[in-house]
A and B are shown apart, each in its own frame.
Chain A
Amino acid sequence: MDHKTAVAIGCLLLSMEVSGCGAKSAKVKDVRSAKVVKPIGSLPGESDAQSGTRSLGLSCGAGYAPGRAALRLMSHEEYDQTVSDLLFITDKASKLAVFEATPKGPSGFASDTAHVSLSPLTVTKYWTAATTLADAVIARKNDQDAAFRKIAPCAVGKSEVEVSCLESIISDFGLRAWRRPLTSVGADSEKARLLRIMQQAPSFDQGLRSLLVALLISPHFIFVSVPTEAPTPVGEAAELDNYQIASRLSYFLWGTMPDQELFDLAAQDQLSDEVKLNNQVDRMLKNDRASYLVRTIVNDWIGLDVLENLVTPGVNDALKRAMLEESWRFVADLVIQDKSITDLVAAKYTYANGILAEHYGIPWSESDRAKFQLLDLTNHSRRGVLGHASFLLATAGSTTETRPVKRGKDLALKWLCQDIPPPPPGIPPLDTSKLPPNATPRELLAVHTNSPSCASCHERLDPLGLGFESFDATGKWRSTYTHLGGAVIDSSGKLDASTEFKDTRELLDRLSGQQIVQSCLAKKVMALAVKRLPVSKDDECVATEMGVRKWGVQGKFSDLLKATVLTRQFRWQSGDAP
């Protein structure tokens, strides 16, 4: 692929198409339904028309709790994209202010930020970003296609700006910035305060700048899932209003603020309608902003962001690029072609070029070794991303030799959703004195399972990791340990009491059929949607029902997304007010 084509393709996935950009702001009717609050125990069962689960046909019973929608900060990517869409500019805001990196949350996603603490220094950085961006909007006001013209159309070319124009700007831009209509009743309403700030400035430009800063530094902008009604008590659950649904939907599928169509639907309460909600999922998946899903799956879920700086013997730049491109193409294909999410673990195909095929030991007939094409893996031992060299490199545990416990832990956490606690402190070293000098990893790890204090975790981890030992640290297939005198690799094991596998290929073939894996796939999608780790028994029930009963290997990716947004987890929240 030449550079120009690559740029074009890259722009396609990353282009910031802003629908409604430059269009006249529709008059938004501030029609918002009153919040529905019910005791969790009395929430409708699945036969009730208002259940929100009727169309899903889940068997989780009545009264299951939706879980809390905690106040959370936007991740850096979300902040960057939101600011870009809001202000119609492309300055990377999080780089302007030099934000600290946000670590991934308990769910494994960077957008799971409820755990991220907010230091005074971070607040200063938000301030820096807000003032810098506001200054940039004002400084470029005379540019063609300037953000200024879209934010303040009624002020363009005016030497004096009327109060009605200020109010219109505050309403329209405020709605977009805070992702909901601003309060307008009373002298201390949000609109009134912001109008006072604008009128305090000596010029319209200064006033607009002040408005932008005030909106961007407000918690209503910086935090997502901000409630607007009274707190919901513990033991009760509240239905999210349409604007909150719109935000949740856009940050789920696009990693950014809602667009004008979502705002319009929210204003008319249309997002309470399940059909319209699902139609929006279809629409949003066709938008280029859905590349956010691809990035999130590749970087956070599969975990390939760790490869950025990884230097591995035997993996040169061209091979590393090919490894990464394989996974990106695969996931992009899954999203765009709306394939089943179980392809992530079960697919008997992939995309590779000659460099990668050679690494895999697969014959390559094309003269162009750099060209990617679809490869049929039916007769090979790789399945889904678990067979991708990129994944195997990222989970190897070391750059020269595999660490089965590390790989086993990654597999258990991300693909079986098993909670593996960290090792307790003060563990004495294992007694390996009776082992031969060239003991294989299986022989070394057997010491774990023979130790009662280690067995509870390692009985789960070690079989998974050892089951992948046929892949070396670079993802190449092997049958012996060359560094251990040619010892034959034994990759057999058990997934559970009733599921044995004789080698790596059989393990990979069995994984996708496991209920725990299917449930985990649905759980990860739920985690991405609600931005938290689904840990309650109610979350477990919903995820298992969706992953196992409804959307096994047959289901399309969009079907799972549509089902997720219809769940109570997505559309309601449990209270935590005392």
Chain B
Amino acid sequence: MSNFKLSRRTFISSSGTTFLLPLFPSWVANRATAQTARDPRRFVAFYIPNGTYNRGDTPTWYPATGVMNRNNLPPALAPFDAIVGDFSVLKHIKTTAADNLANANGQHVGEAVAFLTCGQNLGPQNSFEHQYAGKSGKAALVIQGNTADQGDRYQNNGISYLNGRMVRGISNPGDLYRQLVGQVAVPVAPSPQPVTQNLEASIIDSSLTDLSQLRAKLGRSDQQRLDDFLAGLRELELKYRDPGSSGGGASSGNSSATCRPPTNQANLDSGAAAGDGSLYLARMRMFNDLITIAFACDLVRSVSVMLDVETGSRSLPAAPRELVYQGADIAGWNNHLVSHFGHFSGGDFSHATPDGIPRCITRDRFYFSVVADLIQKLKAAKDSSGSVILDNSIVLAGFGVRDGMHYMHLSQGAPMIVGGGRNFMTPGQSLDMSQFDVADMFFTFNKHLDMGLSDFQGASRFLSL
């Protein structure tokens, strides 16, 4: 910063009507929460097939525009209840590319292809996660949730495309575990020198004494705030009294995941397990554990997860009780049929069963629970700088088909969930994106991920997320 100094009064009187201004970049610097240069940014995309309940004139799906809280979350988003401040909903965003694809007007095939490519034809471009992988120099991780029925009624029943070919992801987490084991060494954190460690411990002791003395002078509500501070100091204290006690295993839900060797779950490690619907959620959660380690060890920065394939005739497993909405479980129900609100007879989509919509919501919750699980794990994990990995990551979750009942007059696409990225976005909002396209969304992601693209499939509007 310049050392230039000038009396304000002199300047004003001598220059007439010229007034004082701050530099533009400085204003926003006061508000920006900058990431240190060494923390990489990550991208994860989850795809939910077959659409959801998205009737524009009865938007029971959507949270009211503005800041979200637990009280205004729609039932489909119940799995995000504990992390409502960590994601945003993009409502009514357009899906122009998918709409324009041949045989794709609101129907299945083009939606899967277009989800991560925004491609204008069925000859797919490189999907977004591969584009980012290319920029980052680290291969993308492609995961497939379902193998029992590939739904190959359509050729391009996938979301991941590289060099003109569809990439079918791995569906056995054991395979990913084996990939990671050879790459992740047990970290040896340098132990603080004993003198330094004792000094730090003394400083924390002194601060704890400050706290306890101060606490006695406060009223109840201020004491509670100080207790939050005390909890944080206690964690620091543990670190300096026992350096090995900080951090935790990747599979621990409550402690920070650092770059540590992954663990396997033998019962999930087989092709048969990959096709067993009753093991679906356990398998996806193990994938989430491994994704978290891969991020923490900076082995991967880009992931796509196709939670299930389009159409098909497989049966869904029972949903955990807490995810069942209004008693409408999905056990034994055909995946495709659920998205059509329960009725499919001779191509007639027009009538739903009475509990078809609650069942569709249960299904949405079933898949969203996987997304929420990853967000929570990334939130508990830290980069080596101490920054929360979630804050440096973009977690996208969305649908392909706009509306399960294929209502063609809908002008908007199905909602998109964008989680994380607190260091460069403002999560916790429900945003009206009716003036924008998903291609604009990917252009915006490109800016946050420093990909350097001047546009994404012709789109170049930056969204304030």
- The CA of A122 and the CA of B388, in the complex, are separated in Å by 11
Q: Which residues of A contact B453 (CB under 8 A)?
A: none
Contact of A398 among B4, B5, B204, B432 (CB under 8 A): B432
> A422 and B221: CB pair below 8 A?
no
A123 touching B4 in the complex, CB below 8 Å, given contacts A193-B206, A214-B206:
no
Indicate if A265 sits at the interface (CB-CB under 8 A). no
> B232 and A118: CB pair below 8 A?
yes
A12 touching B11 in the complex, CB below 8 Å, given contacts A201-B199, A423-B64:
yes
Contact of B203 among A68, A210, A425, A575 (CB under 8 A): A210
Q: Which of A1-27 contact B (CB under 8 A)?
A: 1, 6-17
Indicate if B266 sits at the interface (CB-CB under 8 A). no
Chain A 307-345 interface 0/1 with B at a Cβ cutoff of 8 Å (1 = within): 011110000000001001100110011001100000000
A94 touching B33 in the complex, CB below 8 Å, given contacts A10-B26, A310-B464, A578-B219:
yes
Closest chain B CB from A295 CB (angstroms): 7
> B199 and A206: CB pair below 8 A?
yes
> B228 and A117: CB pair below 8 A?
yes
> A197 and B202: CB pair below 8 A?
yes
Q: Which residues of A contact B8 (CB under 8 A)?
A: 12, 286, 288, 336
Chain B 21-61 interface 0/1 with A at a Cβ cutoff of 8 Å (1 = within): 11110111111111110010000000000000000011100
Chain B 205-225 interface 0/1 with A at a Cβ cutoff of 8 Å (1 = within): 011011100101111111001
> B202 and A577: CB pair below 8 A?
no
Q: Which residues of B contact A399 (CB under 8 A)?
A: 435
Closest chain B CB from A12 CB (angstroms): 5
Indicate if A301 sits at the interface (CB-CB under 8 A). no
Q: Which residues of A contact B226 (CB under 8 A)?
A: 71, 219
Indicate if A188 sits at the interface (CB-CB under 8 A). yes
Contact of A101 among B6, B18, B33, B464 (CB under 8 A): B33
Q: Which residues of B contact A128 (CB under 8 A)?
A: 386
Closest chain A CB from B247 CB (angstroms): 12
Indicate if B111 sits at the interface (CB-CB under 8 A). no
Indicate if B155 sits at the interface (CB-CB under 8 A). no
> A328 and B22: CB pair below 8 A?
yes
Q: Which of A536-578 contact B (CB under 8 A)?
A: 575-578
> B207 and A218: CB pair below 8 A?
yes
Indicate if B235 sits at the interface (CB-CB under 8 A). yes
> B21 and A332: CB pair below 8 A?
yes
Indicate if A274 sits at the interface (CB-CB under 8 A). no
Indicate if A98 sits at the interface (CB-CB under 8 A). yes
Q: Which of B47-89 contact A (CB under 8 A)?
A: 57-59, 64, 66, 71-72
- The CA of A218 and the CA of B226, in the complex, are separated in Å by 11
> B66 and A17: CB pair below 8 A?
no
Q: Which of B422-463 contact A (CB under 8 A)?
A: 422-423, 426, 432, 434-435, 461-463
- The CA of A246 and the CA of B222, in the complex, are separated in Å by 21
The chain B residue with its CB closest to the CB of A209 is B199
> B462 and A311: CB pair below 8 A?
yes
- The CA of A115 and the CA of B168, in the complex, are separated in Å by 47
Q: Which residues of B contact A154 (CB under 8 A)?
A: none
Q: Which of A289-313 contact B (CB under 8 A)?
A: 291, 294-295, 298-299, 305-306, 308-311
The chain B residue with its CB closest to the CB of A75 is B30
Closest chain A CB from B280 CB (angstroms): 31
Indicate if A57 sits at the interface (CB-CB under 8 A). no
Indicate if A429 sits at the interface (CB-CB under 8 A). yes
Indicate if A226 sits at the interface (CB-CB under 8 A). yes
> B222 and A70: CB pair below 8 A?
yes
Closest chain A CB from B439 CB (angstroms): 14
> B207 and A214: CB pair below 8 A?
yes
- Residue with the greatest number of chain A CB neighbours at <10 A, chosen from B18, B422, B426, B463: B18
> B206 and A119: CB pair below 8 A?
no
Closest chain A CB from B282 CB (angstroms): 29
The chain A residue with its CB closest to the CB of B222 is A71
Chain B 337-378 interface 0/1 with A at a Cβ cutoff of 8 Å (1 = within): 000000000000000000000000000000000000000000
> B11 and A77: CB pair below 8 A?
no
Q: Which residues of A contact B231 (CB under 8 A)?
A: 120, 123
> B219 and A576: CB pair below 8 A?
yes
- The CA of A262 and the CA of B221, in the complex, are separated in Å by 30
Chain B 183-197 interface 0/1 with A at a Cβ cutoff of 8 Å (1 = within): 000000000000100
> A576 and B228: CB pair below 8 A?
no
Q: Which residues of B contact A127 (CB under 8 A)?
A: 236
Q: Which residues of A contact B218 (CB under 8 A)?
A: 71, 227, 231, 577
Indicate if A190 sits at the interface (CB-CB under 8 A). yes
> A332 and B19: CB pair below 8 A?
yes
Closest chain A CB from B76 CB (angstroms): 14
Indicate if B154 sits at the interface (CB-CB under 8 A). no
Contact of B464 among A8, A201, A309 (CB under 8 A): A309
Closest chain A CB from B210 CB (angstroms): 5
Q: Which residues of A contact B391 (CB under 8 A)?
A: 98, 100
> B23 and A120: CB pair below 8 A?
no
Indicate if A448 sits at the interface (CB-CB under 8 A). no
How many chain B residues sit at the interface, stated as a range, is: 35 or more
Contact of B33 among A98, A201, A223 (CB under 8 A): A98
Chain A 201-231 interface 0/1 with B at a Cβ cutoff of 8 Å (1 = within): 1100010001001100111101100111111
Indicate if A200 sits at the interface (CB-CB under 8 A). yes
A125 touching B386 in the complex, CB below 8 Å, given contacts A197-B206, A213-B203:
yes
Indicate if B2 sits at the interface (CB-CB under 8 A). yes
> B214 and A226: CB pair below 8 A?
yes
- The CA of A80 and the CA of B2, in the complex, are separated in Å by 18
> B210 and A218: CB pair below 8 A?
yes
Q: Which residues of A contact B22 (CB under 8 A)?
A: 10, 13-14, 291, 294-295, 328
Closest chain B CB from A51 CB (angstroms): 25
The chain B residue with its CB closest to the CB of A296 is B30
Q: Which residues of A contact B203 (CB under 8 A)?
A: 197, 210, 213-214, 217
Indicate if A99 sits at the interface (CB-CB under 8 A). yes
Contact of B1 among A11, A117, A217, A310 (CB under 8 A): A11
- The CA of A190 and the CA of B432, in the complex, are separated in Å by 53
A230 touching B210 in the complex, CB below 8 Å, given contacts A14-B26, A336-B8, A336-B20:
no
The chain A residue with its CB closest to the CB of B425 is A309
- The CA of A337 and the CA of B145, in the complex, are separated in Å by 65
Closest chain A CB from B184 CB (angstroms): 24
- The CA of A332 and the CA of B210, in the complex, are separated in Å by 41
> B210 and A123: CB pair below 8 A?
no
Contact of A231 among B28, B217, B232 (CB under 8 A): B217
The chain B residue with its CB closest to the CB of A15 is B5
Indicate if B245 sits at the interface (CB-CB under 8 A). no
Q: Which residues of B contact A124 (CB under 8 A)?
A: 232, 235-236, 386
Indicate if B12 sits at the interface (CB-CB under 8 A). yes
Q: Which residues of B contact A70 (CB under 8 A)?
A: 221-222, 225
A14 touching B23 in the complex, CB below 8 Å, given contacts A8-B6, A200-B202, A577-B219:
yes
Q: Which residues of A contact B17 (CB under 8 A)?
A: 351, 372-374
Please name the 5 residue pairs, one residue from A and one from B, whose CB atoms are nearest each other, closest first: A123-B232, A576-B219, A10-B23, A120-B232, A118-B228
6 example contacts (A-B, Cβ-Cβ < 8 A) are as follows A119-B228, A123-B235, A125-B386, A128-B386, A206-B195, A336-B19
- Which A residues are closer than 8 A to B by beta carbons? 1, 6-17, 68, 70-71, 76-77, 80, 90, 92, 94-95, 97-101, 110, 114, 117-125, 127-128, 188, 190, 193-194, 196-197, 200-202, 206, 210, 213-214, 217-220, 222-223, 226-232, 234, 286, 288, 291, 294-295, 298-299, 305-306, 308-311, 321, 324-325, 328-329, 332-333, 336-337, 351, 372-374, 398-400, 422-423, 425, 427, 429, 575-578
- Which B residues are closer than 8 A to A by beta carbons? 1-2, 4-6, 8-9, 11-12, 17-24, 26-36, 39, 57-59, 64, 66, 71-72, 195, 198-200, 202-204, 206-207, 209-211, 214, 216-222, 225-226, 228-229, 231-233, 235-236, 385-388, 391, 422-423, 426, 432, 434-435, 461-464
Knowing that A70-B221, A110-B31, A118-B228 touch, tell me 14 more A-B residue pairs with CB under 8 angstroms: A6-B21, A15-B1, A17-B5, A95-B34, A197-B202, A200-B198, A210-B199, A217-B207, A219-B210, A227-B214, A299-B27, A336-B20, A423-B64, A578-B220
